[in-house]
Amino acid sequence: MTERDTSAVPLLVGGRWEHDGNLLTATAAGDGRVLGHTFEATPDQLNRATDAAVRAFGITRKLASFERGEMLRRAADLIMAEVDSVGASLAAEIGKPITDARLEVRRTAAAFRMAGEESERIGGEVMPLDLLPTSRGRWGITRQMPIGPIAAISPFNVPLSLSAHKVAPALAAGCSVVLKPDSRAALTMLRLAELLVEAGVPEGALSVLPMSTDVGDLMVTDDRFQMVTFTGSVRAGWDIRARAGTKKVTLELGGTAPVIVDETADPAHAAARTVAGAFKFAGQLCISVQRAIVHRSVYDEYLDALVKGAATLRVGDPLDDATQVGPMISGPAAQRIREWIDEAVAGGARVLTGEPGDGPYVAPHVLDRVPPESQLGCQEAFGPVVTVTPFDDIDEAFAMADATPYGLQAGYFTRDLNRSWRAFDDLEFGAVIINDVPAFRVDNMPFGGVKSSGLGREGIRWAIADMTEPRLLVVAPEAG
């Protein structure tokens, strides 16, 4: 049943704020306290938002480059001015430690600023077409044209930044966009919507609609959208691809991110970086280190440093500046991780550090001797756990890293330049990160996976390319 509540945070529907929909209570991930109320959109609201996006595309596609650039830079400035307040909202809703939440707000601003800069560099090409006698004197001119209204679906774990990687390039390209953020970050995402409206996004060019999966499915099959861009689980992503029809689809999905540490590397440094890359946001990142593959000659030193580093991380209240690891997104998510760890232990694994915790809290875990066929050994954990396995030669290490249906990012610590190039050539991942963990990402790099981990690339410039299509003008000489 839909409700109207003027005290709840309104939805942005086709450029207008609406105080109705299916009432949604926003709660804190850490302790379940009520943070406020908003709504999940109804099918009617989604339909009107989509109609508005179609109409607004007639405006956005004709905006001059400087107009798009100025709008996006204004958005960046407004977001930066709200680092503390938006960061606190984000930390409370999803349990991200406050220092990481503030960093995400800053990265969101940076993404909009980059998009503003890239919007002024969308170019084309002039090419000779006189390659045959029949095309004498002809020239071609290409332009990158915006693809049309875009349906964007973003997850709970990095809601601001990952939404920015969809909304900012869409607006930079001249497209309109309807965003379905995860309802668990609804209040924060609607605050972002307010800031984008204040920045001057044309009416109807942006709708921000938390909604149920059933309502969100209507976006996937609606032919008024020319593209669907999705970040989330592997299963949901490929289901979207199967049902999207003729739309362009980009998918940024998950993986079991490996890091290789060979005998030439500094094991203490590699372990310190693994701690940073495995347990940020309680491991709830698609590129969190899940599998450490370590040469036997440095295995003990690496493992000792990793266990000590993981054990010293402070677990606690996400709103406390001293907290390094907060809660998982929910009690059931934490319980799943506990069950996966128990299954691995039953199969012979050892827990070297980590307590199961209570409710949504799970301490950082390091395990070795994990059976490769266990869920922890072959499925995306999406939690604060890393497994460690020794190897004897680099061929074995590369084979272990690639023994997965996923291929998002891999890390490799080495001082051997030739092996670095070989890893780049041979490892089947969207990115190979030399001398750092797979959790490394900056906002201008092409980001995405191969195999089951995704389709297409994000990263501002790369996303703009996906959200535009080349159009060709052919100029023939005048007759006579």
- Residue 315 forms beta bridges with which residues? 325
Q: Are strands 177-180 and 206-208 parallel, antiparallel or unpaired?
A: parallel
Task: State both tokens at 424.
Answer: 């780049």
Sign of the CA dihedral running 448, 209, 329, 113? positive
- Please give the distance of CA 437 from its chain centroid, rounded to a whole number: 17
CA neighbor of 14 nearest in space, from 66, 59, 50: 50
Using CA atoms, how far apart are residues 345 and 249, in angstroms rounded to an integer?
Answer: 39
Query: Using an 8 Å Cβ cutoff, are 362 and 356 in contact?
Result: yes
Are 431 and 283 spatial neighbours (Cβ–Cβ below 8 Å)?
A: no
The candidate with the shortest Cα–Cα distance to 139, out of 478, 474, 480, 479, is: 474
Q: Are 275 and 439 in contact (CB under 8 A)?
A: no
386's enclosing H/E stretch is strand 385-391
Answer for the pair 177, 155: CB distance below 8 angstroms, yes or no: no
CA angle 174, 450, 459 (to 5 degrees): 30
Q: Which residues are catalytic?
A: 252, 286
Q: How far apart are the first and last CA of the chain?
A: 71
In contact, 285 and 157? CB cutoff 8 Å: yes
**Contact (Cβ atoms closer than 8 angstroms) between residue 239 and residue 218:** no
Residue 171 DSSP symbol: H
